[in-house]
Each structure stands twice: as structure tokens, then as C-alpha cells.
Amino acid sequence: MAKYKFEDIAFNSTDKKKPVEEDKYKYIGLEHLDTGSLKVSRYGSDIAPKGEKLLMKKGDVLFGKRRAYQKKVAIAPFDGIFSAHGMVLRPKENVVDKEFFPLFISSDYFLDAAIKISVGSLSPTINWRDLKELEFELPGLSEQCKLAKALWSVNRTKEAYKRLLYYTDELVKSQFFELFGDVEHNPKALPIKKIGDFAEVKGGKRLPKGEGYADGPTEHPYVRVVDMINRSVELSGLVYLSEETHKKISRYVISSKDIYISIAGTIGQIGCIPECIEGANLTENAAKIVLQSDAPVDRDYLIWYLSLPVGADQIEAKTMHTTQPKLALYRIEEIEVLIPTANEQKRFVALARQSDKSKFELNQAISELNATYKKILLENLG
């Protein structure tokens, strides 16, 4: 493999313009780029962006130079304007194959090296004068062409799986609406009750001042919002409390029969804890919904209900958006719930669980493709 300075691999297009009103429709900012995806799936602005922006052409590689550790790289889907906090890059085709170029820019090989030369603390940024001097090893053009074909094949399959994930989510949403409708219109004329009518909402507890986590696993796990994933709890990252600390906050535990809901920072994580951590301590940034014994809703139905737009939109509307978003306990009790029959609730939960199983399998397939993709790049780049 030959070694090249980055300025011998890529052009850095610095052509700019001050946006006019019609430019808002074809504006791409760093917020529109998704880590790990070369595809731009959203764009545009409500008003014409302020300040000069970079001109981009369809097929250009857009690279987020500000906070580059986010690893945002994408291919411009049309002619338009791009954030001045990025770079518009084009391949020097005597050195790099144009199909291989975006794959190279999005690789860890390139990005890890670029991130190391970021300057600044609050919003670290990469300067072209430093980036252009970085050296990279590249295989020959014919080998790059072969690599591009293999990698784009993997990429297309991965994007197809991601679309299936999206459609799986949409199927559950549409099935709920078809079966039960929504609270506002209630086309099925279902009973509607507030959560406070059939459950009690209780908060978690901050660790006492001066108290921390235990050095290793104990009988008292402490469930944080970061542990709340996919309507359950990720056990591998749990932290634990000592017996003494647990006793101080032992009133603030959660049962596997309860529902947790995050109420500060990241709002609206919904689920239940596994039976294996029954009685775990609960963070102050979450609350538990304790159903009455004669509650008209199944626990799992309510979890799905609050996760879907019919419940999630109410959670959003009741959240106080300040510097640190917060959801008050009494506001949770005000959430209105459609109450179908017990059998209808169970049938819907069964359908939703099947969708979760399909999503799990799709995510596994995507993880395997990501591993294959990275392995190919690692074996063929310096």
C-alpha cells in the first residue's frame, strides 16, 4: 500500500453562500447526519439558515468537523448548502476510487486519526491545515474498487434491515390504532380511565449524601435511567449498593410487577424490571407505577400503551421543559388510558412481543454486518 497526505486524497471545497429563503429546503446541518449512516434521511430548516454556508453538490462527502467524535459522515443527496461546522470533501480520483472514498472517510481508520487533531475543549473542531497533513495508507485503485463493491453490498443489506426495523415499529403503531383508536376521538367508544384511578405513582430516591456504589455485586442493585433499555433493564451494566446504603433508602424499591418510567433528563423510558432483580432500588430520576390488584389494565398492555404515540404524546405534553426536563408524579397520574377488554389487551401484547422478537433478530443481523464491515476495512487499510 502507498502512503498519502490527506490533501493528496481529497479536495476540501470551501465555496460558500449566504442563504436566501429558498435555500432552507435544501439545507443540511450536522443535526441531520446520523452516526454510522452515510444516508441523509432528513434535511431542511423552518427558516433560511443564518450566516454563510458551504455549497455542496450531489455526491459530495459531508464530514462533521465540529465534535468530530460523533463520527458524522454522509453523502450529499442533492445540490444545496451544508453547515459551516462541516467540510465538503471530494475525491482526487487519481489516488482514491470515488465509490471507495465515502467508505474511507467514514471508517474508524480515518475518523480516529482526524479526531486526535481536534482543537478546543467545549466544541472540539478539526482544522483543514492540520487535517491535510495527516498521512494515510491506501490500497491500489483496482483493490479499492473491489473493496467498494463488497462494502456497499454490506451497506445496502444493513440499510434494508434498518428499514425493516422502522416498518416493524410502524406496524405495531398502526395495529394499535386500528384496534383501539386514540384517546381524543375514541372511535371504538372504549372506557377511558386516568392512571391515578387504578394505580399509585411513587418516586425513586437519590443516594444519600456521601454514599456511593458498592465495589462489586451485592443483593441490592440500583436501577438508573441508563439501565432502562427496550422496556426492560440491561443487567450487564448494573451498579450495586451496600447493605447499609440500601437500608437508608429501602422504601424506594421496585417490584417486577410495577412499571418504571423515567421522569428527569431522558423522559419516558418505560418498562419493568426482570424478576431476578426483584426489589431493586430505584433512581430518583424515575418513578414506579404500582397497579392496584383490581386494575382494569394488564401491566404489559400499559407498558406498550405508554411507549406508543397514544401514551407517549401525553407524556410529552405533560413534561415540563426546562434546562433539565422533568415529569411530575401527579402529571403521570393524569394520563388517560384506553381500556379494551382483558382478552383484547392480551392479544395486542402478544402481537407487540412478536414484533420485539423480530426487531431483536434484525438488530443481531445488523450487528453482525457491522462487524463484517469493520473487519474488511481493518484488514485492508493501514
* Same-domain status, 128 and 74: yes
- Could you tell me the CATH number of the domain that includes residue 89? 3.90.220.20
Contact 274, 300 (CB under 8 A): no
Listed residues 338, 356, 372: the one ending a domain: 338
C-alpha cell at 337: 388510558
Distance CA 176, CA 170 (A): 10
Same domain, 236 and 310: yes
168 and 234, same structural domain? no
Are 222 and 180 in contact by the 8 Å Cβ rule? The answer is no
Q: Are residues 250 and 353 in the same domain?
A: no
Question: DSSP secondary structure string, 293-341?
Answer: TT-SS-HHHHHHHHHSHHHHHHHHHH-B-SSS-B--HHHHHT-EEE---
17 & 123 share domain: yes
pLDDT along the chain (382 residues), means of 10: 94 95 94 93 91 96 95 96 97 96 96 94 91 95 95 94 94 96 96 98 93 91 95 94 93 96 95 96 97 97 97 96 92 98 97 94 95 92 74
Quote the pLDDT of residue 257.
97
**pLDDT at position 382, please?**
63
Is residue 301 domain-shared with residue 259, that is, in the same domain? Answer: yes
Q: How would you classify residue 59: left for phi > 0, otherwise alpha for psi between -120 and 50, otherwise beta?
A: left
| Domain with 261 in it | 191-338
**pLDDT at residue 122, as a whole number:** 80
Both 167 and 256 in a single domain? Answer: no
Same domain, 98 and 227: no
Q: What is the pLDDT of residue 265?
A: 87
Structural domains of the chain, count: 3
